[in-house]
Each structure stands twice: as C-alpha cells, then as structure tokens.
Amino acid sequence: MLIKTKELREAIINASFSISKDKESSLYNVLIETRNNKMEIKSQNNITKLTQTLNTDQEENLKILTDPQKITNILKEIKDETIEIKKEDNILKISSGNFKTKLKTLNPELFSETKKDTNKNKICNIEAEKLKKLIKETIFCPDKNDIAREYTGIYLEIKNKVTKATATDHYRLINVSTENKTEIETEFIIENSGANLINKIPIEGITEIYSSEKEIYIKCGNISIYSKIIKGNFPDYNQILLDKETSNIIELDREELKEAVKRSSVLSENREISININANEKELLISSQNQEGEIAEDKINFSTIKANDNLIIKLDSKFVLDFINQITPKTVTLLYRTSEEPIMFEASEDNFLYKYIMTPIIE
C-alpha cells in the first residue's frame, strides 16, 4: 500500500506519546490497522489512548504491531513524498525508491485494545487552541507524586459559559479561565498524563469533548484522544483566592519584574528572595543573600491600584518566574495582605484570565 511519508511519520510520533513506559509490554508498540482505505494508528497505556486516522489505497484488512521509535527513525530519513508498505508474515517492508527496509513486527493480537466506553456524553465543543492553552498554562503545577490523587491532575470546570483549568502543588495554585459558549456545566480532574498528551498532540480547529464516569474523550479532526479522569473532589480553591475588596493591589510591569527577580535571585542558594513593598514610595525591593552574607538586590516601581500596607514577604523565585515567564501581558497585578498569607498574581491576555497564588516561605 502507498501512504504519504510525512503524514505517517507525524502520526507515529503522536502515537508514541501514548505508549506504555514499560519496554516489556506489548503496549510499548503502536498498532497500525487498515480497513476500507483507512489507516488507523493506535497507541495506549494504562491512562491514555490515542487514535489517528489516515487515508490510504489499502482496501484489505491489515494489522501491524511495531516499535514506534524504529519506524520513526526510518521515516525521518526518507525524503520521498510517499512510501510503500507491505507486510509478509511478521515482517514489515517499507520501500521508497531504491531504499528498502525490513522490520520485525509483533503479533497484533497482543495489543489488547480497551473497550470503548459507550456511556459517554458530549460536553461541549471548544477550540483546540483554547483547550491546549488551558492545559499548557497549568501543567507545570500539579504535584505528580501527591498521595491525594485529586492533586495530581488538572481540574477542568466548564460552567457559566467559562472554562477554567486549575492545578496546585500545595505551595502554589494556578487558575486559568477563558470564555466558552457552551451551556452545559461539568467538571472533572484529568490525569496528568492525559493533560500532557493533549499538550503535545498538534490539534487544530474545533474539538468535541465527551465524558463518561471514568474517562474523557476528545475528538479533533482525524485524532481521538482518551484519558482517564481522577475520581475525587478537587477542593474549593475559590476559598483561597484573594479578594480584591480586602487586599492591597499594586500593578507591576511584567518584564521589569521578571528581570528584577532573575537578577536578585542570582546569589540565592535556595531560590529564596525577599520582596519588600513600600506602598508610600511605590517601590518594590527584591533581594536575596547567600550564606556568606553577600547580597543582590533590585528595585522596581509600581503603580498603586489600592494599597495602604507595606509588605515584607519571602518567596521562592522559581515559583514567581514559572508564572511570569509563561505569560505575555505588559502588566501583572499583585494582591497581598500580610507576610504570612499567600499572595496572588493576576493577569489577563487575549481572552484568558490568570490567577496564581503562592504561599510565602515562613521560617
């Protein structure tokens, strides 16, 4: 059968993101299945499953179970637009011009495909770009090793025409929201590896999201992504968001803040920085020092939205940079109350609103 080289290569690379990590497992391989001029490339592990459909000239049924890494390496070296694929016994033959290769394949029956969940319901349509952004901006935060499973994934809420993604590692919490037209209200915690898969797969256009009791299913063009969801309740994070009415609020230039944090934390051995907000002078002094007592400090100005109180707070510089590095607005607002309470950064860009809470370092 003939197939486009680039399409197959990309599909195999995508599939490799959803294979098992266990090299001994048959699920460490991808299944290529053809039927009625369609080729399906499937991969799955204990959390996620991915299927991508391509067009082919093959009418007969054919099943190939093979190592995605080997086939990707071969396809990367082929410059021709199309390649020819044949399977003889357990040998996969790939040819392109004078180049020929023979690969051993496994018995396709070893690929024990999980049964389709027939009880899934459609939740909504959402632009792939929006969904990917929600995931991308929160994926750095979950604590993958937390014993409480609900903290290991990303909490997605679709309600009141807003879609929100939230994750926490107990030191900080990120909450990103964007508008969505759907009337349906739902919430679930997607497994970390499911979120990672959505983040990595290049999907475009409108995605359809379906959910069942145990998994979510995302369909976008010729790609279908399945991920298990985590049973459990994500705690009511709204309770810890800082309230504008009862907080001091200052506005900072994001780039200035980023550079100042980077510079000031140079000498810090444990990433700890001290932030000193002088509300009267509208100055923010960031400093750090090492065990020898050597000091690095930087000062930036801010504009006050509503701030009467000064603040001296110790923060983890990496946590600050994790947030301000990934967003692009010109300014960020900082909400604070006392040096023992969490602070909250807030920023908005395009149609996204970011809230990022950090707990202070208290000795």
Residue ranges binding another protein (CB under 8 A):
148, 168, 170-171, 173, 235-240, 243, 245-246, 337-338, 340-342, 359
Strands (E), 196-280: 206-211, 215-220, 223-230, 248-253, 272-278
CB of 243 to another protein, least distance (A): 6
Secondary element (H or E) of residue 266: none
Closer to another protein at the Cβ: 168 or 192?
168
DSSP 125-186: EEEHHHHHHHHHTTTTSS-TT-SSGGGSSEEEEEETTEEEEEEE-SSEEEEEEEE------E
Neighbours of 72 (CB within 10 A): 17
Handedness of CA 189, 193, 199, 202 (dihedral sign): negative
CA nearest neighbour of 315 among 291, 338, 342, 294: 342
Closer residue to another protein, CB minimum distance, 262 or 337: 337
- Cβ atoms of 175 and 345 within 8 Å: the answer is no
Residues shown for the chain: 363
CB nearer another protein, residue 105 or residue 168:
168
Least separation in angstroms between residue 78's CB and another protein is 51
Q: Are 198 and 50 in contact (CB under 8 A)?
A: no
If the CB atoms of residues 289 and 339 are measured against another protein, the closer one turns out to be 339
Q: How far is the CB of 74 from another protein (least distance, A)?
A: 48
Smallest distance, another protein to C-beta of residue 155, A: 11
Residue 85 pairs with which residues in a beta bridge?
94
User: Using CB atoms within 10 A of its CB, is residue 160 exposed (0-12), middle (13-18) or buried (19+)?
Assistant: exposed
Please state the closest distance from residue 264 (CB atom) to another protein, in A.
25
Minimum CB distance to another protein, residue 233 (Å): 10
Residue 246 beta carbon to another protein: minimum distance, rounded to whole angstroms: 4
Closest separation in Å from C-beta 319 to another protein: 13
Amino acid at 357: I
Comparing CB distances to another protein, the nearer of 338 and 351 is 338
Taking the least distance from each CB to another protein, the nearer of 220 and 334 is 334
Distance of alpha carbon 318 from the chain centroid: 19
Q: Which is nearer to another protein, 118 or 246 (CB)?
A: 246
Block residue for tokens 């399906």: 40
**Is the CB of 235 or the CB of 329 nearer to another protein?**
235
Token pair in block for residue 200: 């990595």
Our CB check for another protein shows the closer of 79 and 147 to be: 147
Using CB atoms within 10 Å of the CB of residue 359, give its burial: 0 to 12 exposed, 13 to 18 middle, 19+ buried.
Answer: middle
The distance of closest approach from Cβ of residue 124 to another protein in the complex, given in angstroms and rounded to an integer, is 25
